[in-house]
Amino acid sequence: MTAVHTLDARGLLCPLPVIRIQDRVKDLTDGAILEITATDPGVMQDIPAWCRVHGHRVLDCEERADDILVRIEVVRE
Whether 51 sits among the annotated catalytic residues: the reply is no
Catalytic residue, chosen from 5, 10, 12, 14, is: 14
For 1, 27, 77, the CA distances from 61, given in Å and listed in that order, are 22, 22, 24
Under 8 Å between Cβ of 73 and 56: yes
Q: How far apart (Å, rounded) are the C-alpha atoms in residues 55 and 15?
A: 19
Q: Which residues are catalytic?
A: 14
